[in-house]
Amino acid sequence: MTKTAKGILWVIALVIVVLIIVNVSSKGGKNSNTASSTPIKIGFTGPLTGDVANIGQNAKAAVEIAVGEINSAGGINGRQIEMVYEDDRCAGPEGVKAANKLINVDNVTAILGSVCSPATLSFAPIAEKAQTPVLSYCSTAPKISESGDYIFRDVPSDLFQAGFAAKYTYNTLGKRKVAIINVNNDWGLGLKKAFSDAFKALGGQVVLEDGDDPTSKDLRTQMAKVKSSGADLLYFAGFPDGTVAGLKEAKTLKLTQTIFGADAWDDNKIWDSLGSSADGVMYTRVGTNSSDAFKTKMKEKLGNDSIVYCSNYAYDGLKILADAIKTAGTDRTAVKNALYSIKHVNGVSSSLIEFDANGDPKEANYVIDIIKNGKAEIVK
């Protein structure tokens, strides 16, 4: 064999080796979506037990529906989604514990959660440091807007909700003096400040501000203060158990003020407990874009017609994360970057979801519910 022929053979052999290495590398790259058959892990946090467990369980059901739809359609670029569910009990310490497990043990690509602002805010610094995208489906405290580059939510900030409530109570209901009772956590304190600022800016007067501990079920003192405050409306930002206790006391004390609440009141366990004794009470909640198909699937999943608005945003939130991963792969920073470019249309929560520079939705839509015959219905 001539030297020239030997040289050609060596070149051919080298090319073959290089091609084999490239092929193996492309199949084995850790950020590849298409080459691996292993599931893509996404974490879920929410209150699956405790005061607001009904909301968390409702949202979990919606996420399970979304996962089933995505996986049955082939998954994300051929890979199935595997959800890892953690109970944060709507509390900071449990939220930290849940996030640490999801990030460091389960190695999830992203976290969908939480319901409660205190839980989300507790683990936001952990996720930010670990460069793990978080998409909250129900945490509305204004502070979340400032919690980091990796922290998103598809539900709007309470700055929108409180402003909407202030305008409605001042302009439509014609109220000029309000008392505010709030649960003393990030959600309640954020709403108190935002509503108070917005109501005063309209020309109204806040004659009383008082709060209660998240675990308290005795609000007699607060309601007695409201009765003698001279207010013509009570703005009551309470969690479910505290709300039930407070509204019972208001009934016992025969409060004459109009009572107006916030989105945590979108929990049927409140109205099932109070029945028609709460008739006339109103509250704000985020609007939804529910389809008949979604309502049917939720009814089949839950065995009843109870859909908490957070569930719509949880369902869409999972679809949004899946779209970002489909585009970016499973690299967490790439997923975060992709979320800023997402344009999610025709969801069951909102007809359009896009994120601003703070990871907040660019648009917000609210409705008002009133209790009639022990059931919530939209004010027309």
Domains 40-156+289-363 and 159-287+367-378 share a fold: yes
What's the pLDDT at 217?
86
CA pair distance 335, 33, nearest whole angstrom: 12
CA pair distance 198, 203, nearest whole angstrom: 9
Interval 75-99 mean pLDDT: 97
Residue carrying structure tokens 């709030």: 182
pTM here is: 0.84
Contact 180, 259 (CB under 8 A): no
Residues 6 or more apart whose CB falls under 8 angstroms from that of 168 comprise 284, 368
CA pair distance 100, 166, nearest whole angstrom: 38
Residue carrying structure tokens 């049917």: 296
Tokens in use for 343? 């344009």
Interval 303-323 mean pLDDT: 96
CA pair distance 335, 324, nearest whole angstrom: 6
Question: Any bridge partners for residue 371, and if so which?
Answer: 376
pLDDT averaged over the chain?
Answer: 91
- Give the β-pairing of 110-112 and 40-46: parallel
Please state the domain extents for the chain.
Answer: 40-156+289-363, 159-287+367-378
40-156+289-363 belongs to which CATH class?
alpha beta
Question: Any bridge partners for residue 43, and if so which?
Answer: 84, 111
Residue type, 372: K
Q: How far is CA 8 from CA 11, 17, 222, 258, 266, in A?
A: 5, 14, 91, 91, 76
Residues 6 or more apart whose CB falls under 8 angstroms from that of 10 comprise none
Interval 91-120 mean pLDDT: 97
Give the tens place of pLDDT for each residue, 333-362. Answer: 999 999 999 999 999 999 999 999 999 999
Tokens in use for 250? 């208001």
Residue carrying structure tokens 């610094």: 125
Q: What are phi and psi of 185, to 5 degrees?
A: -145, 180
pLDDT above 70 coverage of the chain, percent: 91
What's the pLDDT at 264?
93
| C-alpha angle 266-271-277 in degrees, rounded to nearest 5 | 135
pLDDT above 90 coverage of the chain, percent: 86
Task: Give the SS3 label for residue 218.
Answer: coil
Report residue 285 CA to chain centroid gap. Answer: 13
Task: Give the SS3 label for residue 358.
Answer: coil
What's the pLDDT at 36?
67
| C-alpha angle 346-351-353 in degrees, rounded to nearest 5 | 100
pLDDT at 20 over 60: no
Contact 74, 90 (CB under 8 A): no
Q: What are phi and psi of 257, to 5 degrees?
A: -70, 145
Q: How far is CA 347 from CA 66, 316, 319, in A?
A: 11, 6, 9
Give the tens place of pLDDT for each residue, 201-241. Answer: 999 999 999 998 888 889 999 999 999 999 999 999 999 99
159-287+367-378 belongs to which CATH class?
alpha beta
CA pair distance 17, 291, nearest whole angstrom: 55
Query: Among 1-15, 32-46, 339-353, 361-375, which is the least confidently predicted range?
Result: 1-15
CA pair distance 76, 79, nearest whole angstrom: 5
pLDDT at 35 over 90: no
